Amino acid sequence: MTVLTPRIQFFDGIPEALSDVSLRRNRQSGLRTVLMTFTELRSIERFNSFRNRFSRGLKLIDTEGEISVEPSSVKFFFSGPEGDEFERMECRFEIDRDDHWERFMRFMNRYAEANGMEYGESSSVQP
């Protein structure tokens, strides 16, 4: 059996490096929101997007298979003196079913382990 390294893609064949992820749950509705932040986009930096097929969303790929996600929002942030230097991209999507959440968390655990990421609670800011 071949071990498949978990990966995230916007364009087929170009894996992206996740910089940060925030997981939230609405207490009233139970809806879970995922915010993935990318401070580097290989597909943009290598100008490969015109040669590769856009996946029409986000693909999370691991040993269990592929999760296709349609983001509810994607925001690009630019900085620098001319305002044209890529700073980061934020990709937000919601997960409403428990079985989808469990599958997503299995993917994230594999991705984190393969990429040296750790889970940490956010600290609340005290005045």
Question: What order do you get walking across the sheet with 32-38 strand by strand?
Answer: 20-25, 32-38, 85-95, 73-79
Torsion angle (degrees, nearest 10) of CA 21, 42, 78, 91: -30
The torsion angles phi and psi of 19, rounded to 5 degrees, stand at -95, -35
Domain range summary for the chain, segments of one domain joined by +: 7-115
* Structural class in CATH, domain 7-115: mainly beta
Distance CA 115, CA 117 (A): 6
Per-position pLDDT tens, the chain of length 127: 567 899 999 888 889 999 999 999 999 999 999 999 999 988 776 554 445 555 568 999 999 999 999 999 989 899 988 888 889 999 999 999 999 999 999 999 999 999 998 876 665 444 4
Say whether pTM exceeds 0.85: no
